[in-house]
Each structure stands twice: as C-alpha cells, then as structure tokens.
C-alpha cells in the first residue's frame, strides 16, 4: 500500500511521518535550513501485522503544489494532516481538492499538535474538519488526534492505517511492468538511479525495460526497496 501525506505547511506532516517510521524525510540541506519540505520524501512504515506501507511525504507550501501533485499520483490512502491549533487552512483545502481530482477514495485524518490546545478548541476544530469533509468522498474518514511531543494518538493512528491497508486492492503482478518515475539522479560508481512506485508487473536484476516516451531500452543493474536490496 502507498500512503501519501497531504496538508498545509507547518501542520506537522514530516514530523508525524518521522514519529511513525523513524525516518526524517527532509533530506535536502535547503529543507533543513528553511524548515520546510521542498521535494518528495519516502519512508517505510512497518505495521504490527508485518505489512510494510510505502509513505510519500509531500510539501505543504503553496509554491510546491506541482510536487505535491506528483507525490499524490498513484497513492492508495491519503493521510490528511491538520494542525489542531490552526484547523483547516488554504493548502488543506487545495490538497483535498487534488485528492478528489486524482480519484483517491480513502483517507485518514491526523489532527496534529493536540498538546497545544484545550478540550473546547479541540472539539471546535474537529467539527470544522467534519464540515470540510462532508461534501467530499471522505465524509466518513476517521479523525485521529495526535501529538508527536507526547506520543498521544500515534498507536491509534497506526491501528487506523492497518485497518485501511487490509482493504486495499493489491497490484496486478501478471501484467506488464510499469513504474512511473518520481526522481532520477546519478550515483558515483552506480550510474543512473530512478525511484518510483510499481503499478503493475514484476522486475528482476538483468531485466530490460523501456523508458517511455523516449522508447529507450536499458538494463536493470540493481533493485532496492526502501534501501534494502531485493
């Protein structure tokens, strides 16, 4: 299953992913300096039943909507992150519209930063989120309140993701191999490396693949899944 984050800047998407997976998906120096996500980040989330969920962490800043759109393409489940101290904001609504546009039909809402608000404000924001979701395909989405500071709600969120993972339709393995490329870069001593999510089929080392739309045929020298050779 592929899980994609969505939500406004500074609502805690990357911090929540790190709390769930132990991986800091902000890897670029510019991301560290500015304290915001700029490029797509990736992390494996291991659930209690052994299922490994591929997490795609997207930018929340309005200037990086195109990057968010690339990351949201092909996801099975959206994790809509909304900060409890602010509630729904412009990119919350924009990302929600993108998820609808892409045909994503499953969503879990993480209400972050619960430690910053009192009970009355929390109830008010929760109702505001319900109102936001009501006219969308996510009207009945689970809302899980969390805090990465105290750890509150993290196990409940993992349990919610596990429930949704069990209902996701598995990819077809007996079809052509298809992998939309998210990133392409060069590694010294290795050559060209691409990352992406397998949509169908299977692949093995020494196989040949065609890069479209160029029609170029290349050989596969190595395969990794979240940094592990496979």
The catalytic residue positions are 10, 13-14, 61
Dihedral, 147, 128, 130, 157 alpha carbons, nearest 10: 0
Q: Which residues of 192-227 are buried (b: 16+ CB within 10 A; e: fewer)?
A: eeeeebbeeeeeeeeeebeeeeeeeeeeeeeeeeee
Contact (Cβ atoms closer than 8 angstroms) between residue 125 and residue 117: yes
Question: What letter would DSSP give residue 28?
Answer: S
Which of 147, 143, 92 has the alpha carbon at shortest distance from 116? Answer: 147
Residues constituting the chain: 230
- State how far the Cα of 58 lies from the Cα of 56, in Å rounded to an integer: 6
Residue 154's SS3 state is helix
């Amino acid at each position: 299953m592929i899980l994609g984050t969505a939500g406004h800047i500074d609502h805690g998407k990357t911090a929540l992913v790190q709390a769930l997976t132990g991986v800091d998906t902000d890897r670029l120096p510019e991301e560290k300096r500015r304290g915001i996500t700029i490029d797509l980040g990736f992390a494996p989330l291991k659930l209690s039943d052994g299922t490994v969920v591929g997490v795609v962490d997207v930018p929340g800043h309005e200037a990086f909507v195109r990057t968010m759109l690339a990351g949201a393409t092909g996801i099975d489940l959206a994790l809509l992150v909304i900060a409890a101290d602010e509630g729904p904001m412009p990119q919350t609504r924009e990302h929600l519209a993108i998820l609808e546009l892409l045909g994503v039909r499953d969503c879990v809402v993480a209400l972050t930063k619960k430690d910053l608000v009192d009970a009355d404000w929390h109830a008010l924001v929760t109702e505001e989120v319900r109102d936001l979701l009501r006219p969308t395909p996510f009207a009945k989405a689970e809302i899980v309140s969390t805090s990465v500071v105290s750890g509150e709600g993290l196990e409940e969120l993992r349990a919610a993701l596990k429930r949704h993972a069990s209902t996701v339709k598995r990819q077809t393995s007996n079809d052509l191999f298809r992998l939309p490329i998210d990133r392409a870069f060069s590694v010294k001593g290795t050559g060209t490396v691409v990352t992406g999510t397998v949509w169908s089929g299977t692949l093995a080392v020494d196989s040949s693949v065609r890069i479209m739309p160029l029609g170029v045929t290349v050989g596969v020298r190595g395969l990794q899944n979240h940094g592990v050779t496979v």
